[in-house]
Structure 1
Amino acid sequence: MSTPRPPLMATSPILLIFCLSLLAAASTTSKAISAHDELINYGFPVGLLPADIDSYTLNHTSGAFTVLLGDKCRVTLPPDNYLASYSKRITGKIDGNRIAELDGISVRAFFKWWGITGIRSSGQDLVFEVGMVTAKYPSKNFDVSPPCEGLRSSSS
């Protein structure tokens, strides 16, 4: 003699609710890491990149990265209100406290556009490299990711 089993309809709603709650939990915990989050993971402030990023790739082994913006944009960088221009494609290598081989970010100073080739972080300060010349600024000046001021650019 076999034991009677509950009707399938009686257990289905419970199973359905359980599965839906698992899916909801998975969708909130498996959020993709943004390029700004990656900056933080490497000890840099988010304000080194503009707010709107279309996509990015990062090779965690070599540190090589590519950041894609929807279009070129300009932002005003604190504290001296330098105008910075971002190309649609920004590339470089990130390793520990240094971004090297940087291409796609320029700053206007002394009536000329200069390409930023690297950035070093000491925690409290950022050192921007323009070839052999460097400039140091407090990291806190870059705590907020700036919005693009426009889609115009003259450097890239």
Structure 2
Amino acid sequence: MSSPFSHCVYLLLILLTLSTSSSAAAVNDTLTAYEVLEEYDFPIGLLPQGVTGYELDTSTGKFKAYLNTSGTCTFTISSYEVKYKSTIAGYITTDKLYKLSGISVKVLFLWLNIAEVIRDGDELEFSVGIASADFAVDGFDESPECGCGFDCDDVSGGRMRSGWANFNLFRFLSNLLD
């Protein structure tokens, strides 16, 4: 005959085994924020290095991504300053990021919030609401680093890997005036 104590120990061992195996499954099933971007047909370079976590409601597409910075992540690519806040939010569907907050680009002397990114084949269209600019998807195959973009290990700045390098200021400004 077994004691009530042995039943409790046995039950406790079963519960520990179940909780350990379900935690391991949850860890193995979790994607990084970069992998989530790829799942929705976007390149990883839309997010800078250093994303520490994210939230995603798959039923609505609402998301938040968190950077490992207490303030902002700013870097320059091809003479354009890009700034990410420590929390980036919006909605994601296949080939479309919209209602974005936390990402901006400096054009001339103005900081413009990037509101939407749409993938159309091999192009990404970045919209600031009243104007947009197109970039090649393959320019975003690497994630830039906060502070130095893609020039972190090359002091001369010779390593241009981003689609921002193809930013056409005159086309962008003419879209603003149309």
Same fold (TM over 0.5): yes
1:51-66 aligned within 5 A: 51-66=49-64
User: What one-letter code is carried by the residue in structure 2 that aligns with 1:140?
Assistant: D
Task: Give, in angstroms, the shift of residue 31 of structure 1.
Answer: 5.7
Match of 1:37 among 35, 38, 41: 35
Where 2:35 maps in the other structure, the secondary structure is helix
| In 1: Cα distance, 2:142 partner to 2:76 partner | 12
Structure 1 length as normaliser, TM-score?
0.73
Where 1:54 maps in the other structure, the secondary structure is strand
The size of the alignment, in residue pairs, is 123
* Deviates most, 118-127 or 66-75: 66-75
Superposed CA offset, 1:53-103 (max 9, x none): 1110111110000011122211234xx442100001110000111101000
**Does the aligned pair in 2 maintain the 1:43–1:123 contact within 8 Å?**
no
Match of 1:119 among 117, 120, 123: 117
Where 1:113 maps in the other structure, the secondary structure is strand
Higher RCO (CA-CA < 8 Å; seq separation 6+): 1
Question: Quick check: which has more Rg, 1 or 2?
Answer: 1
Listed as ranges, the gaps of 5+ residues in structure 2 are 1-20, 149-178
More helix by proportion, 1 or 2? 2
| In 2: Cα distance, 1:59 partner to 1:40 partner | 16
Tell me the equivalent position of 1:148: 146
Tell me the equivalent position of 1:75: 75
User: What one-letter code is carried by the residue in structure 2 that aligns with 1:51?
Assistant: Q
Kindly report the root-mean-square deviation, in angstroms, between the aligned alpha carbons of the 2 structures: 1.9
Where 1:145 maps in the other structure, the secondary structure is coil
| In 2: Cα distance, 1:82 partner to 1:36 partner | 23
